[in-house]
Copies of this chain bind each other. A is one copy, B any other.
Amino acid sequence: MYCISYSMMKIVILGSGGAVPSPARSLPSIGIRYFGEVYLFDCGEGTQRQMMIHGMSYSRVKMIFLTHLHADHFLGIAGLMQTLKMNERKEPLFIFGPAGTERCVSSILMGAYPFQICIKEIDENFSLKNEKFKISAFKTSHNVRSIGYVFQENDSRNFNKAKADRLGIKGSMFRKLEREGEIAIGKKKVKLEDVTKPKKGMKLVYSGDTLPCKEVLLASKGADLLIHDGTFSEQHREDAANKMHSTVSQAAELAKKARVKNLVLVHLSNRYKDAAMLEKEAKKIFKNSKVAFDGMEICV
């Protein structure tokens, strides 16, 4: 993984297990903190406590994106909402997920809430944009209706601090230059391009539970980070096919084909006690593979 200190993004694997938790692995959830707001991707039982343990503020959760409606991926919403209610949250919270989300999530939200919970059922045509990023969905291949998500940061420009200093740019001048594209310093005009260089937005992809498939491959093209189902080892390829999950080798093959920069494997089955063995299997195919652990922090 690589870490750039000025990034305002932090990704934490809150639960790296799947189906049934284990002492080492909580149920699926990934938290992305971006400019002070938190976006959760899946929210298995225990997610609120995992957030507390691994330093991701549960009160900052703005949106929750569900990949599918198996209970291990969404039961944690119930407890998290109770805690936010006790904290007297006022801001609305958005929950996105495939058809059926309204019924499933509503059944575990007991009582009234002092904040609005907006549940929106979406499909692979979903996308949501703001001035900083776009989140879009894509089709995946599991044994219930399922989708994955792309978090695509907008391209931007990075200031060259040394150059800006030399030109006497300081304080609010940075913001003005960003807004107006040009500022006057004495008699000299300075353009935004003079003191910045283009910065490509990060692309993060989360597959949820899925067989390797062309839609995931397509969505993952050139991603900085692909977080992919790695439930099984290659020796249990048949189990993976029957249960519509991936082996770590299959995930690594897909990562290689999609030319992603980094692959993180999640939803590990409890049958494997040795994560290093799984990582070795994936690395043979795609070098930048990592098996996730609870609390794994990824800075991009």
Give A contacts to B, CB under 8 Å: 19-23, 26-27, 45-46, 48-49, 52-53, 71-72, 75-76, 78-79, 82-83, 86, 104, 107-108, 110
Contact = CB atoms under 8 A, between A and B. Distances in A.
A232 to B, nearest CB: 16
Given A26-B49, A72-B79, A75-B82, 9 more contacts: A45-B45, A46-B49, A71-B78, A71-B82, A75-B75, A75-B78, A104-B110, A107-B108, A108-B108
Nearest to A72: B82
19 contacts: A20-B48, A20-B86, A21-B49, A21-B52, A22-B49, A26-B49, A45-B48, A45-B76, A45-B78, A46-B49, A71-B78, A71-B82, A71-B110, A75-B75, A75-B82, A75-B108, A78-B78, A107-B108, A108-B108
A86 B18 CA distance: 12
A-B interface, 9 closest residue pairs, ranked by CB to CB distance from nearest: A45-B79, A21-B49, A23-B53, A46-B46, A71-B82, A20-B83, A23-B52, A107-B107, A75-B78
A173 to B, nearest CB: 43
Contacts of A23: 49, 52-53
A86 B49 contact: no
A108 B26 CA distance: 19
Contacts of A71: 78-79, 82, 110
Contacts of A20: 48, 83, 86
A95 B79 CA distance: 20
Contact of A45 (B46, B53, B110): B46
Contacts of A108: 75, 78, 107-108
Most buried by B among A27, A72, A82, A86: A82
Contacts of A45: 45-46, 48-49, 76, 78-79
Nearest to A107: B107
Given A45-B76, A107-B108, A52 B22 contact: yes
Contacts of A79: 21, 27, 45, 71-72, 75
A20 B81 CA distance: 11
Nearest to A44: B79
A264 to B, nearest CB: 22
Contacts of A49: 21-23, 26, 45-46
Nearest to A49: B21
A245 to B, nearest CB: 14
A84 B115 CA distance: 34
A79 to B, nearest CB: 4
Nearest to A19: B86
A200 to B, nearest CB: 36
A98 B46 CA distance: 25
Contacts of A26: 49
